[in-house]
Amino acid sequence: MKQRQIQYQNNNTSILSKWLMAIMLLSTALFAEEIYATFTVQPLKRAELAFSAGGIVDKVNVDVGSEVKAGEVLASLKNDELKALLDVAQTNYKYAKKAYERQLKVKHLIDQAQLDNFAFKYEQSKAQLTYQKALLEKTLLKAPFDGVIYEKLIEEGDVVSGAMIRTALKLQSTHKRKLILAFDQKYHDLVKAGQTFRYKVDGSDTPRESRISKVYPAARSKDRKLEAEVIAEDLLPGLFGDGYILTQKP
């Protein structure tokens, strides 16, 4: 008798679970709307890097496919003369600072004009040192963020003209990607950040799912489509696909 009661309760629980699942599916069908969208894959970050000074390329430390860290020197121009001038500036600063500090210790024994002269030379040497460092820094091309080099446009010995900015290297984020979605403008009041986007990359049967991170505030001029952005990882930039945005019916 007791076993029959337990079986009866289990059957009731199973029936209740099925009803709840059916209600949830029905609610989704009634209140959710799937909006078709196409997309292209782009790097989350992308930059075209160029020297801010002219000169001859001395070293290129990376190649296509090189993974780099933010601040890493990727390439440099010939800068021996600037290094020598920096050494001179550092020496002048060192001795001007010492001279000024000595005068400060005996300032009660000298007149103010003499002290001001030492202070002026000290500040002047400090400014010159900062200037020479800035000039040398312009001959170094550094990575602005962690990423991977996807195009190399310079070689050692190339001439870089300060009068015309020339892209030297192209950098993109290593793993982070963004999907740029395009959907019909009639859904402008339905698509919101945080909604789910279910999609497949063209040529792949693997289903994927992410959330919309932002909706662009203007339609594209070429076709009046609206755009949204979804964050993804490890997809090859340039791929495309399609899917559905899950929204709530008004």
Domain ranges of the chain: 30-44+174-248, 46-75+142-172, 80-138
The angle at the Cα of 165, spanning 164 to 169, to the nearest 5 degrees, equals 145
**Quick one: DSSP state of residue 236?**
P
Copy the structure tokens of residue 41: 């894959």
Per-residue confidence at 13, pLDDT binned at 50, 70, 90? low
**Distance (Å, rounded) from C-alpha 160 to C-alpha 141?**
12
User: According to DSSP H, which parts of 138-190 are helical?
Assistant: none
* CB distance 188 to 165 below 8 Å: no
Which CATH number is associated with domain 46-75+142-172?
Answer: 2.40.50.100
Per-residue confidence at 105, pLDDT binned at 50, 70, 90? confident
- What are the tens digits of pLDDT across the range 140-181? 999 999 999 999 999 999 998 866 678 999 999 999 999 999
Which CATH number is associated with domain 80-138?
Answer: 1.10.287
Q: Give the three-class secondary structure for 249.
A: coil
For the segment(s) 30-44+174-248, the CATH number from 3.30.530.80, 3.40.50.11900, 2.40.30.170, 1.10.287.3510 is 2.40.30.170
Per-residue confidence at 2, pLDDT binned at 50, 70, 90? very low
Is the entire prediction scored with pTM above 0.85?
Answer: no
pLDDT at 25 over 50: no
**Distance (Å, rounded) from C-alpha 38 to C-alpha 19?**
35
- DSSP-derived pairing of the beta strands 46-49 and 169-172: antiparallel
Helix axes 80-105, 112-137, angle to 10 degrees: 160
**Distance (Å, rounded) from C-alpha 247 to C-alpha 250?**
9
Q: Give the three-class secondary structure for 5.
A: helix
